Amino acid sequence: MSSDAQILQTLRTAGSNGVSGAELSQKLGISRAAVWARIEDLRKLGYEIEASPHAGYRLLSAPDTLHADDLSWRLSKGRKIGRDIRVFEQTSSTNDAIEKLARDGVKEGAVVFAEAQTRGRGRLGRKWISPARKGLWFSVLLRPELPPHAATQLTVASAIAVRNAIEEQTGLKTEIKWPNDILVSGKKVAGILTELSAELDRIKYVLVGIGVDVNLSATDFPAELRTQASSLKIELGKPVARTELAAAILRELDREYCRVLAGDFAAVASDWEQHCATLGQRLVIHLGDRRVCGRAESLGEDGALLLRTEHGHLERIVGGDVMLEK
Amino acid sequence: MSSDAQILQTLRTAGSNGVSGAELSQKLGISRAAVWARIEDLRKLGYEIEASPHAGYRLLSAPDTLHADDLSWRLSKGRKIGRDIRVFEQTSSTNDAIEKLARDGVKEGAVVFAEAQTRGRGRLGRKWISPARKGLWFSVLLRPELPPHAATQLTVASAIAVRNAIEEQTGLKTEIKWPNDILVSGKKVAGILTELSAELDRIKYVLVGIGVDVNLSATDFPAELRTQASSLKIELGKPVARTELAAAILRELDREYCRVLAGDFAAVASDWEQHCATLGQRLVIHLGDRRVCGRAESLGEDGALLLRTEHGHLERIVGGDVMLEK
C-alpha cells in the first residue's frame, strides 16, 4: 500500500479521534516532515484534513475524485479484479487505454478509470456521454482461458455485478436489459461494452468497459436521450458517492468473474434471470440489416438470448439492437 | 502507379527490345535525368538493368526481393485485397504491424509483407521461423461485416486461396490440414494465423497472417521440425519466384474473400473439402486440457470441423491441436 493509502486508512479508522504526526510517522516508517508533505499533497487532491496540536490529524471530508490507492484499500486482498488500478484525469476511452495495457502484457484484473472520456463509446459504435467526475467510466482487463464464444458470459456476469453493486449502494430497484444495460424505472443508468481480441479458438484478452451514469443531471444528457437515459442521482434524488460505488462494483465483478472461471456460469445466469427485464417480453431485434421478432424465452448456457421467433423457431441472439415490440 | 512500377512494367513489356530513355521520359512525364535516377535506384534494389546507346534500357533480371509497386501492378484494378501494399525489411511479426494499421483506421485489403520476422508466430502461441528472403511472411487486414463466429470462414477461404496459388505457381500437389495448414507430401509448407478484434456481435477487424516456406533449405528448420515441415524449394527441387507467388496468393485471396462476402461460403467450403487431407481421418484433438477423439466428418457452415466422436456425438471443433490418431 502506498503512503497515501496508509495515511487515509489510518485517518479513517481513527475517525474524530485523530492521529498524531508521531504515530503516522512511526506507522509509515517515514519522517514527520515526510508525513506533513504527504498530507499536503492529499489536501491538494481535495481531502480536507484538519491538523490540531491536541488531536493531531483528522480527516473531515474526502473529495469526489477517484484515487487509485483509496480504491485499492477498499478491496480484499487476493482478489483478481482491481489488483492494479489506474486513474486517469481524462482519456479518449478507457477501453482504448486498457487495450494499450493489454498489448503491453499487463496481467488480468487491471482496471483503468478516467474522470472524463473524450470519445467514450457504447455498443454498435455509439457515442457514450462521459462528463468529468459525474459518472464512473472504467474498463477491466480479463484474460480468461475460454474460447471466444464464451465472452458473452462475461458480459452477463458484468451486468449482474453492476446491478448488484448499484442496488447495494443506493437501494434503487434495478433491472437488466439484455445483454448489457442496467435500468432504473425503465431508463438506462449503466451500460457495458465487451470487446475481445482472440485467435479462432482462444481469447487473448477481453476488455469489459463499464459506464455508470452516477451524478449526471438531466441537462447533461442530449435532449433526444432524456426519455431513455437517466442517472442514479436523478432517480435517487441525491448524489451518490462514486468511490464507494466503484469499489462495490469491483468487488461484485471479482465475485461473478470467479464464478464464471469456476465453471459456475449457471449460478450467474440464474441471478441474472431473476433481474432481467427482457425475459418474457416480445422483442424486435435488429441484427445489421436483419430484423428478428419474437419472445425472449431464456438465456443460453453461453449467455446468448434464446428468442422464440414468430415462426416458432428458437433463435440464438448474441447481439444486435434490442427493442420492445410496440 | 509509382514511377518505379511504371518503369518496371514498361521494361517488362519491351523485353529484349529495350526502351529508350526518351520514351520512358515521355511516358512517365519526367526528365531523362529523372528516369536515369530512378533506374539507378532500381539497380540498387538489385534490378539488373542494361543501358545501351542502341537498345536503350533492358531489364535483364529482377532481384528476389519484394517490391510493393511491383506487386501492385501484378494485381487487377478494383480488387479489395492488395490495394495498399507495404513491404518491410524486417518486423517483429506482420500481424503486429498490420494491427497497428488496423487501429489507425486503415481500410480493409491492406497487406504488410516483411522480408524477415524477428518474432513470427503461429497458432497456439508457437514460434514461426521466418528467415530473410526465404519465405513469404505477410498479413492481410479485413473488415468484413460478419459476426465474430464467422471468422473461421476466413481461415478456410485463406487456406484454399494459398493452396490454389501454390499449385498454380509450382505444380506441386497440395493438401489442406484443418484448419490452416498447407501440406505437400504430408509436410507443412504454409500456415495461416487468423486473429480478430471484435465486439460481442460484430467483427471490428480480422488479421489474416500467412507464412509460406518458399525457398528455405532443410537446415533452415530446427532439427525437431524437419520431419513435419518442408519448403516449396525442397519439394520442387528448385527455387520458386517469391514475387510471382505472392501476387498469385493475393489474387486468389481476393477471389475467395469476395465469395465469402457474397454469402457463397458453400462454394469455398466445397473447394476446400476436395483438397482436405483431414476429412475422413481419425483424429486426436487437444483443446486446452481436453482431448477429443473421433472421425472428421465434414465442414460446418461456419467453417468449423464436425467431428464424430467415439461416443457417436457430432462435435463442432473450431480450433485446438489436431493430430492423426496413431
Quote the CA–CA distance of B196 and B205 in Å, as a whole number: 6
Same domain, A80 and A171: yes
Domain that holds residue A314: 282-324
pLDDT above 80 (res B319): no
The residue from A16, A36, A61 where one domain ends is A61
Contacts of B204 in chain A (CB under 8 A): 195
pLDDT of residue B124: 66
pLDDT band at A124 (very low <50, low <70, confident <90, very high): low
Contact B179 A193 (CB under 8 A): no
Radius of gyration of chain A (CA): 22
Q: Which residue's C-alpha cell is 478516467?
A: A114
pLDDT of residue B216: 95
Candidates A152, A199, A202; nearest CB to B200: A152
Sign of CA dihedral A256, A261, A267, A268: positive
Candidates A124, A197, A201; nearest CB to B320: A201
pLDDT of residue B1: 65
Same domain, B89 and B206: yes
More reliable by pLDDT, B301 or A215? A215
Counted residue by residue, chain B has a size of: 326
Q: How many structural domains is chain A composed of?
A: 3
Same domain, A178 and A80: yes
Candidates A193, A202, A320; nearest CB to B319: A202
- Chain A nearest-CA distance from B196, in A, is 5
Residue A297 sits in a domain of what CATH number?
Answer: 2.30.30.100
Same domain, B127 and B47: no
Contacts of B155 in chain A (CB under 8 A): 200
How does DSSP classify residue A270?
H
Model pLDDT for residues A152-163, shown as the tens digit of each residue:
899 999 999 999
- Chain A nearest-CA distance from B200, in A, is 6
Quote the CA–CA distance of A322 and A278 in Å, as a whole number: 9
pTM of the model: 0.79
pLDDT of residue B251: 97
Chain A: residue nearest B103 by CA? Answer: A96
Mean pLDDT, chain B, as a whole number? 90
Mean pLDDT, chain A, as a whole number? 90
Give the cell for residue B225.
521440425
Same domain, B83 and B103: yes
Where is average pLDDT lowest: B145-154, B236-245, B256-265? B145-154
- Summarize the confidence of residues A214-234 as an average pLDDT: 92
Quote the CA–CA distance of A281 and A293 in Å, as a whole number: 11
Whether residue A257 contacts residue A154, with contact meaning beta carbons closer than 8 Å, is answered with yes
Q: How many CB pairs under 8 A join A and B?
A: 69
Same domain, A113 and A189: yes
pLDDT of residue A301: 77
- Chain B nearest-CA distance from A75, in A, is 29
- Chain A nearest-CA distance from B11, in A, is 44
- Chain A nearest-CA distance from B141, in A, is 14
Chain B: residue nearest A318 by CA? Answer: B201
Same domain, B88 and B218: yes
Same domain, B161 and B201: yes
Contact A196 B197 (CB under 8 A): yes
pLDDT above 80 (res A277): yes
Q: Which residue's C-alpha cell is 524477415?
A: B116
Quote the CA–CA distance of B84 and B63 in Å, as a whole number: 22
Residue A30 sits in a domain of what CATH number?
Answer: 1.10.10.10
Contact A288 B145 (CB under 8 A): yes
Contact B318 A200 (CB under 8 A): yes
Give the cell for residue B191.
500456415
Model pLDDT for residues B115-160, shown as the tens digit of each residue:
999 888 877 667 888 888 899 999 999 999 888 888 889 999 999 9
- Summarize the confidence of residues B108-113 as an average pLDDT: 97
Quote the CA–CA distance of A95 and A129 in Å, as a whole number: 14
* Peptide linkage before B222 cis (omega within 30 of 0): no
Give the cell for residue A133.
467526475
pLDDT of residue A1: 65
| Phi, psi dihedrals of residue A89, rounded to the nearest 5° | -70, -40
Contact A197 B193 (CB under 8 A): no
DSSP string, A43-66: HHTT-EEEEETTTEEEEEE--SS-
Candidates A197, A199, A288; nearest CB to B194: A199
Same domain, B195 and B88: yes
Chain B: residue nearest A201 by CA? Answer: B319
pLDDT of residue B237: 95
Candidates A147, A201, A318; nearest CB to B200: A318
A186-190 own/partner pairs: CB under 8 Å, 24+ apart: A186/A277, A187/A227, A187/A228, A187/A229, A187/A230, A187/A235, A188/A213, A188/A228, A188/A229, A188/A230, A189/A213, A189/A229, A189/A230, A189/A231, A189/A232, A189/A235, A190/A162, A190/A166
pLDDT above 90 (res A226): no
Amino acid making up residue B5: A
Quote the CA–CA distance of B307 and B299 in Å, as a whole number: 9
- Chain B nearest-CA distance from A62, in A, is 37
pLDDT band at B169 (very low <50, low <70, confident <90, very high): very high
Contacts of A196 in chain B (CB under 8 A): 148, 197-200
pLDDT band at A53 (very low <50, low <70, confident <90, very high): confident
CA neighbor of B181 nearest in space, from B94, B109, B96, B123 = B123
Residues 6 or more apart whose CB falls under 8 angstroms from that of B24 comprise B7, B10, B32, B35, B56, B57
Residues 6 or more apart whose CB falls under 8 angstroms from that of B13 comprise none
pLDDT band at A45 (very low <50, low <70, confident <90, very high): confident
Same domain, A192 and A286: no
- Summarize the confidence of residues A257-272 as an average pLDDT: 92
Same domain, B133 and B18: no
Residue B186 sits in a domain of what CATH number?
Answer: 3.30.930.10
More reliable by pLDDT, B201 or B233? B233
Same domain, A181 and A303: no
Quote the CA–CA distance of B52 and B55 in Å, as a whole number: 6
Model pLDDT for residues A80-123, shown as the tens digit of each residue:
999 999 999 999 999 999 999 999 999 999 999 999 998 888 77
pLDDT of residue B86: 96
